[in-house]
A and B are shown apart, each in its own frame.
Chain A
C-alpha cells in the first residue's frame, strides 16, 4: 500500500501537530502532521531543520585536510566520513591500489565503526521501544530504563560499543575524530600489543553479537504481524557489493534492485555515480531527495542501509553472519523483506559480521606491516564511496591546480533514505494516527519508524551558500501557482527540468 500524504490537497483549516525534536536520533529533525477536525491525517513530513555547511567551507582548503575536517560532520560515525574522504583522495593522489597494510587497517577501522555505531543504535536508541513497547511510559523508554529492567542487555550493549571504539582508537589514534586514514594509505599500522589487547575481547564480542541477533529475532517473531507491517513500504534498494557479490562495507561496485529484488544495475563503478543517481529538491526540506536517474524521481527513489545490504549481497563472507543472513532471506519467502522494523534484525546481522571481520583482520599479519602509503599520477577529481552504518555514503571532490578543493558534494546515507523515511512515517500515520485522538505514545510510533533507519540528521544537512532550493508560490486558496528551482550552481530553472547529464 502506498500512501500519498506528502502534501495536503487543501491545507487551509487543518490543525498542525509537530514532533519537535525527534528524539533518540542523531541530529535535529521534526515531523509535522496536518489533521482535520475529525483527526484524519492529510499531510506528514519529516523536516530536517539544522544546517551544516561543510560543502561550502571546505572550498579553498588543501585537499589533504579533508579526511580530518569532514569527519566533524558527525560524532557518531566520523570514521565513515573520514574513510569516504580518504578513498576519494586516494584517487586524487593516484593511489589506484593501497598497500595490504593500509587497506586492512582501514577496514579494521571501518568495522570497528560499524560495530560501535550499530551497538549504539540498537541498544541505546532503539531497544527501549522494542523491549518495552512503543507506547510504554515515556519515563521508562530510554537506556536507563533498559539498564534497570534488562541489565545484561544494557551492559553488553555498552561494552560492544566500547570495543568498537577501541578498534577505532587503535587504528585512527583517537576514539573519535582521529587521523588514521590519509590520502594514499594510513599513518599508522597496528602494534602487536594493541592487536593482542583487542584479540583478548574479540571472540566475546562475536558471542555477544550472536546474542543480539537472537534477541532481535525473538522480538520480531514475538510480534510478527506488527514487525512485518509497521511502516512497511516497497522500494528500490541500493548498496555496494564486492566483486563476487559478497557483503563488503568498505569497497565494491554499486548494485541496485527494484522492489521485487530484480537487479537494475550491478557492479557499477562509482567514479561517475551521477550517471546513476541524481537528486531533486523540495520546498519543505533542507534535505535533498536522491533517485535512480534511469527510473526518474517518481519511481526511482530507493532505500539504503542494513536492510538493503543484507539482501542485496549474494553472501556474507563470515560464517555466523552468513548463517543469519540465510535465515533472514528465508524469512522473506523468496521476496525482498521491506519491513521497516526488519532494519533492526539486519543491523544486528551486520554487527555480527563486523565482529567476525574484526577478529579475522586481527589475525592477519598485514595489519602490523610498515608499508603504509602509495601514490601515483595525481588527479583533479576523486569520488569515494563507502557503506557507512546507515547506508551508502558518497564523497566527491574537485580540485584546482594548486591542490585546493573547488567543489565538494556529499550524499550521505540519510539523504539516500529521505523519501523512504517519509514513506515510512506516512504509512504509520495512516495506520495508527488517522482518526484517533493523539497521545504521546501514538506520536512515538512515528519516531519508532524513523529510528528504525538510524538516521543521522546532522550528517544529512551539510550544504550552504548556493544550496539547491525549491520555492513554491501559493495563492490565498492554497493552490500552487508557480515553482522555481535553484540548482547547485545557483541557476534558477523550471521545476520540470531534469538534472545535468555530465558530471559535476
Chain B
C-alpha cells in the first residue's frame, strides 16, 4: 500500500492503482464523491455531472478523470456542492418524483444524494411532465416519471444481459427512455425479471411488480447508513470477485 502512488482529494492523499479513475480510487479509500450515473460494474461515461470536481484548473467529471500522481482534486467545496445541489434539483423538477408514495423511497439513490447534499426543496418550478407508466409486462413495471437518464439500464441490458432492451431517445429536455420494441411496450421486448438491467436502476423506474413496500422502514438501504457512509460499497470490486460473477 505504501508503495502506491496517490493524488490529493481535498488535501487528503488517496492511493490509486494504475488505470483507476479519481472516483474509483476515492470510493475504494472510503471517500465519497456524490454521483448518480456512475456504477462500479459499468464503464463510466460522465453524463450526470453530479461527480464534477476541480482538478488541474479544470472542471471535470471525477468518474471519467484518470487518477494521476500528485493531482490536486477539489470536491467538497461550497461552489461544487452548490452546483451538485442544483443538478439534483433540476432532476427532481424535470420528472415526477413523489417520494411519499414511491416504493423506492429509502432505496433510491437520487433521494439519498439529495439528502446528502441537503436539498430541502426544489427551488425551481416543477415541469410536471405527463409520462404514463408501462405496466404491460406481467412481472415488471416501468415508471418513466422517475427516470434520471443515467443510462445504467441501457448499459446493463446491452453489456451484461446482451439484449439491448433500453435506449435514450430525443435531445435536450425532450430526451427520454425508450424500449426496443416496435409497439414501444416493455412486454414486447426480450427483458426478463432476472436481468441486470432491472437490478441496476438507481431510482424507481424499473420495478418488479407486486414487491412494493415489502422492506420495512428501518431496513432499507439508506435507512441503515447515509450514502456517503457507503462509499466503499460502491468501489470497484477486486478483479477476482468480478470474475466469479
Contacts and interface: CB of A to CB of B under 8 A. Distances in A.
Interface in B69-117: 100-103
A173 B218 contact: yes
B103 A177 contact: no
Contacts of A180: 216
A182 B101 contact: no
B160 interface: no
Contacts of B213: 64, 67-68, 179, 182, 187
Given A403-B209, A404-B135, A62 B141 contact: yes
A188 B223 CA distance: 15
A67 B100 CA distance: 11
B212 A174 contact: no
Interface string B171-210: 0000000000000000000000000000000000001011
A93 to B, nearest CB: 7
Given A60-B133, A179-B216, A404-B135, A65 B209 contact: no
Interface of A: 60-62, 64-65, 67-69, 72, 93, 172-174, 177-180, 182-183, 187-188, 373, 402-404
Contacts of A172: 217
Given A93-B210, A178-B217, A182-B212, 5 more contacts: A68-B100, A179-B216, A179-B217, A182-B214, A403-B141
26 contacts: A60-B132, A60-B133, A62-B135, A62-B212, A64-B209, A64-B212, A64-B213, A65-B103, A68-B101, A69-B100, A69-B101, A72-B101, A173-B216, A177-B100, A178-B217, A179-B213, A179-B217, A182-B212, A182-B214, A183-B210, A187-B214, A187-B215, A373-B214, A403-B209, A403-B210, A404-B133
B120 interface: no
Given A60-B132, A72-B100, A188 B209 contact: no
A interface, by DSSP: helix, strand, loop or mixed? loop
B1 interface: no
A174 B217 contact: yes
Contacts of A174: 217
Contacts of A403: 135, 141, 209-210
Interface string B117-148: 00000000000000011011000010000000
B72 to A, nearest CB: 44
A65 B212 contact: yes
Contact of A402 (B100, B135, B207, B216): B135
A180 B135 CA distance: 25
B4 to A, nearest CB: 44
A64 B103 contact: yes
B3 to A, nearest CB: 49
Q: Which of B135, B141, B207 gathers the greatest number of chain A CB atoms within 10 Å?
A: B135
Contacts of A402: 135-136
Given A68-B101, A72-B100, A402-B135, A187 B216 contact: yes
A221 B136 CA distance: 63
A183 B216 contact: no
Contacts of B100: 68-69, 72, 177
Nearest to B213: A179
Q: Would you list the 10 A-B pairs with minimal beta carbon distance, nearest first?
A: A173-B217, A64-B212, A69-B101, A402-B135, A188-B216, A179-B213, A187-B216, A404-B135, A173-B216, A68-B101
A402 B218 CA distance: 30
Contacts of A404: 133, 135
Contacts of B216: 173, 179-180, 187-188
Contacts of B212: 62, 64-65, 68, 182-183
Nearest to B212: A64
Interface in B210-245: 210-218
A98 to B, nearest CB: 15
B233 to A, nearest CB: 23
Nearest to A69: B101
A145 to B, nearest CB: 34
Q: Which of B132, B141, B216, B218 gathers the greatest number of chain A CB atoms within 10 Å?
A: B216
A235 B54 CA distance: 74
A273 to B, nearest CB: 25
